[in-house]
Structure 1
Amino acid sequence: MSPTAPPSVPRRQAILVWGVALSAYVASVFHRSSLGVTGVEATQRFEISAATLATLTVAQLGVYALMQVPVGMLLDRYGSRRLLVTGGALMIAGQLGFALVTDVRLAVAARILVGLGDAMTFISVLRIVAYWFPGRRNPLLVQLTGTLGQLGAVFGAVPLVLLLEHTGWTTAFLTVAGVSSAILLVVVATIRDSPGRVAVTVAATTPPGGLLAAAWAQPGTRLGLWTHFVCQFSGSVFALLWGFPFLVQGQGLTPTAAATLLTVLTLGMLVTGPAVAYLCGRFPRHRSVLVFAIVGLTAATWAVVLAWPGRAPGWLLVVLALVLAFNGPGSLIGFDFVRTFNPVNRIGSATGIVNVGGFVAAIILVLAVGVVLDLATPAGQNVPDLDAYRWAFALQYVLWAVGVVQVLRWRNAARRRYDGPQASLDRPEAVLVGGGGGRFASGNDRRHRRFSGVAAVRRRGASARRRRKV
């Protein structure tokens, strides 16, 4: 059945559904980032080294990345509501386990549960945006979702540190699980996959591998994947695990000051997210240029911090945090490419593919930093020094080089598939969903529906079809 939406959706109802879904994503970001400010305590609780501490985050992010494609396929088949409920329950179970266990192997299992639940949340919220709002609002709402979701990292910084200091490890994480249970109940009561009684399991009659293969074959999907890869990992790794130890052990900040700096990073996204969304909408032909600008600015700022003689001054660390605040919004440009180049019935599969990129890069960097810190820490010294952190964070430049080359490659491929080098990368494929009465990947507003009978893909060896110009 076609997933066409009713002619009009009550604005308040759409905002309510999106707001509740967003609260589920805020909770998932909190769970994801909760280890970032508790890393020092975790090494003491589980009596582990830096490399072993990295395995906790790698287990969580690894499961998250591995599950993106399967979850995307499940999302196209079963809809957002079921996945949000399942994901929330898994994260609560993981945090309950993390609160109670003292063996590192059980702690890894608990973080795996958190990663499984987290994997189901963000792309489910993006699919709700695609079904409840017209396409012209998608870039802003995707950025707002990703940006406001980072409030979970704010709650996972100073408030979690204070809770740990005053109540201890077990009580703090039990409190986290309790709050998340309340959010899950609201999700169950409020979330619907689409307006009215419209069926959204549009992939039920399509072989799962068919949607996945079609999404992967689209150069725009791969452009989104590498965009997510090259933009996300630096800020993500800094916020999720290694930023806090770097600031405390390498730069000599107090735990509260370090947590505050991570909060500055997160709050900075509240400004950079809407700014990036505006630029994407205003200059759709130059979204990849914006990606390169964000990567270049991040790499240059890190170069100054790492090359600074001795510990970096406070103002420079604040600048670093503010620059890293562009990383998350920059990675979300990858999902805007998904919206542009894929029809709505394969949004889940394409989004899952793209979401793998940044987290694979983050996993590589998390592991590499942990290994280098262990190798570069002087013998007989338990805490890595500043030089060890410098060598470890210098590994980022390898990932940036790989990512930039791939973004260039697939940007050019996407342009060649359409009108050549000057093609707009904002032209959607007009692939009908479920036959007549379908809609475009970029939305269901009237402006797009007027062209719902026009194909926008010119395939090699086939006669040119009529295409919509934007």
Structure 2
Amino acid sequence: MHSQSTPKTNEIPLQLAGIFMVALGTTFYIYEFFIRVIPSVISVELMHEFSISASLLGVLSSGFYYAYTFMQIPSGLLCDRYGPKVLLVIGITLCGIATFLFGMTQSSFMIGFSRMACGAASAFAFICPLVLTTHWFPSKYFALVTGVIQTMGCLGAIFGGHPLATLVSEFGWRSTLIYSGYVGVFIGLIIYLFLQNKPDSDEIFIEPNACMSDDHNNTTEWQRLKKIITKRQNWHIALTGFCCWGPIAVFAELWGIQYIHHDLGLSIDLAAVQLLWVWVGIAIMSPIVGWWSDNIQSRKTPILICFSIGLLATLLLILPEKASLWTLDITMFLLGTSAGIQPITFGLIREQNSQTVAGTAIAFNNMAVIFGGVILQPLFGFLLDFFWQGSLLNGVRMYGIFEYQHAMWILPFCCLIGFFNTLWFVDETNCQRIDVS
């Protein structure tokens, strides 16, 4: 009797400790989001200072995503094996160093190298907080907490918009990046001092059918990976994740400020302010959509509705005339709302796979989500060059609204693919774990 009452007695302080631990682990995700969107603010400075085209800038920027994507599966396997703390500390410290090097670089090659280093180190930023969530919270809160983590990440993206543009205007892009590197190393020290991987009484929140003791320790990395990649549902869920984040990776993380600048004739600073509404939409709606999905015990319905909203928003963005700034802000918010799909895809991937491969399954889905940047950012730059009308300024290609509007058609196309993939091929789990083996 005593052993049964102890979890109830300790549940509230344990949940408070869980909130602190997940929030602390999420600081890396906030920082990673900040450095991820930096090129969107300084794209013009980089093209002019290093005399590079939009295509090359897209390739250099997407180096972050190439490395991030490549490291997803290894990061999940390492997280399953060693736990989140050590990976968070190493990851954010390396990110800080790479950001410092970006600020010091004198060549376009080093831009690509530092972005790839940031991407590789950032591979742990989202996976580790999610694994911490599986240790510190009951499974019924997973989609909600995932949405909150997504919201926290948006704080980094928001600060990487207008506030970063202000800092760059005031201090220059190099000094801003150098001091941002120092911040990353400092956060790594805080995580090292205070983060704990799991509660001392870990069994409190472990599901009855998800015991990991002996089987977990005896399962090799290859067996975990094979279990993930041979399951067809995982691939369909991953495609949904790719399609939901692809428009965000293209528009909000790299090309959106320039598009708004050319479309409405706004200054770069003011265009960055308008773009903030995408991140506000993600920040507000991700936990709400996650909570709604948990509450109605459905994963597919919220996903289909969000893809429909994303399709509407991307089509409105392509319209040649915008009625006013406030209609643009609403469109930005709707685009952010559509990304509320992302936490649900992590709920789906978790419910389709056993606890023994939780980290690897989460990493597989996150790899697909981030792959949107790998493919679509350089594709957008290629389309800008393909439709380029021949305008030059000091020998550097200049792109107007004609080029941007033609390249933007990849965004609604992405939403359509995601909608029909989910409708036809993704199985409904009703928020219940299907694979408990």
Q: TM-score, normalised by structure 1?
A: 0.83
Residue 432 of structure 2 is aligned to residue 427 of structure 1: yes
Rounded to whole Å, the distance in 1 between the matches of 2:340 and 2:412 is: 20
1:321 aligns with 2:332: yes
Question: Match for 1:371: what amino acid?
Answer: F
1:21 and 1:357, CA in 2 relative to 1: closer, same or farther beyond 3 A?
same
Shift of 1:224: 2.7
Deviations 1:343-368 (A, max 9, x none): 22211110111112222223222111
User: Bigger CA drift: 170-179 or 395-404?
Assistant: 395-404
Name which of structure 1's ranges 311-320 and 385-394 shifts more when overlaid on structure 2. 311-320
- Residue number in structure 1 paired with 2:390: 379
User: Which one-letter code corresponds to 1:138 in the other structure?
Assistant: F
Counterpart amino acid of residue 171 in structure 2: T
1: distance between equivalents of 2:384 and 2:102?
Answer: 25
Cα pair 2:147 2:286 within 8 Å, conserved: yes
Cα displacement string for residues 416-442 of structure 1 (whole angstroms, at most 9, x for unaligned residues): xxxxxxxx532213625xxxxxxxxxx
Once residues 380 and 126 of structure 1 are traced to their aligned partners in structure 2, the CA distance between those partners, rounded to angstroms, is 47
Q: Secondary structure at the match of 1:293?
A: helix
- 1:219 is displaced (CA, Å) by 4.6
**1:405 and 2:424 are equivalent in the alignment:** no
Q: Which consecutive unaligned segments of at least 5 residues does structure 1 have? A: 1-5, 416-423, 433-470
Cα deviation per residue 1:300-333 (whole Å; 9 max; x = unaligned)? 2222331334x66323321221011113321221
Q: 1:297 aligns with which of 306, 309, 312?
A: 309
Partner of 1:466: none
Task: Give the AA of the match of 1:125.
Answer: P
Specify the alignment match of 2:406 in structure 1. 391
- Aligned counterpart in structure 2 of residue 370 of structure 1, from 335, 358, 381: 381
Measured after TM superposition, the shift of residue 163 of structure 1 is 1.1
CA offsets, 1:168-188, max 9 Å, x none? 122111111112222111110
* Deviation of 1:197 (Å): 7.5
Tell me the amino acid that sits aligned with residue 399 of structure 2.
P
Measured against aligned partners, the alpha-carbon deviations of 1:368-401 in whole angstroms (never above 9, x if no partner) come to: 1101111212123432111111110112243334
Which amino acid letter does the alignment assign opposite residue 434 of structure 2? E
Match of 1:227 in 2: 240
Task: Spell out the pairing of 1:152-191 with structure 2 (5 A cutoff).
Answer: 152-191=156-195
CA contact (8 A) 2:15 2:136 kept: no
1:427 is aligned with what amino acid?
A: Q
Which of 329, 339, 346 does residue 350 from structure 2 map onto? Answer: 339
Q: Is the 8 A contact 1:268 1:325 kept in 2?
A: yes
Q: Name the SS for the 1:431 alignment partner.
A: coil
Identity over aligned pairs, percent: 23
Following the alignment from structure 2 to structure 1, what is the Cα–Cα distance between the partners of residues 242 and 254?
18
Matching residue's letter, 1:167: F
2:314 maps to a residue whose letter is: W
| Residues 37-82 of structure 1, C-alpha deviations (whole Å, 9 max, x = no match) | 1111111222211111101221111111121112111111111112
Match of 2:23 in 1: 19
1:64–1:289 CA distance, 2 compared to 1 (3 A): same
Name the CA shift for 1:397/1:269 in 2 (closer, same or farther; >3 Å): closer
Is 2:65 the counterpart of 1:61? yes
1:256 to 252, 265, 269: 269
1:79 corresponds in structure 2 to 83
Q: Which moved more, 1:147-156 or 1:194-203?
A: 194-203
- What does residue 267 of structure 1 align with? 280
Going from structure 1 to structure 2, the CA distance change for 1:140 and 1:68 (only over 3 Å counts) comes to same
Give the structure 1 partner of residue 198 of structure 2.
194
In 1, the alpha carbon distance for the partners of 2:252 and 2:217 equals 39
Deviations 1:178-214 (A, max 9, x none): 1222211111011121112769897442111111222
Amino acid in structure 1 at the alignment position of 2:138:
P
Alpha-carbon distance between aligned partners in 2 of 1:403 and 1:265, rounded to the nearest angstrom: 19
TM-score by length of 2: 0.89
Q: Which amino acid is the alignment partner of residue 100 of structure 1?
A: M
Distance 1:430 1:289 in 2: 21
CA 1:31/1:380 → structure 2, altered by over 3 Å: closer, same or farther? closer
Amino acid in the other structure paired with 2:95: M
Q: Is the 8 A contact 2:79 2:87 kept in 1?
A: yes
Q: 1:442 — aligned with what?
A: none
Equivalent pair of 2:96/2:181 in contact (CA under 8 Å): yes
Structure 2 unaligned segments of length 5 or more: list them. 1-5, 204-211
Q: Which moved more, 1:343-352 or 1:122-131?
A: 343-352
Correspondence list, 1:116-135, <5 A:
116-135=120-139
Counterpart check, 1:44 vs 2:52: no
Cα separation, partners in 2 of 1:409 and 1:353, compared to 1, 3 Å? farther
Residue 209 in structure 1 maps to residue 185 in structure 2:
no
CA distance in 1, matches of 2:35, 2:216: 30
Cα distance in 2 for residues equivalent to 1:298 and 1:400: 6
> Secondary structure in 1 aligned to 2:420?
helix
1:306 lines up with 2:318 in the alignment: yes
| Cα pair distance change 1:197/1:97, threshold 3 Å | farther
User: SS in structure 2 opposite 1:102?
Assistant: coil
Higher helix share: 2
One-letter code of the match for 1:94? Answer: A
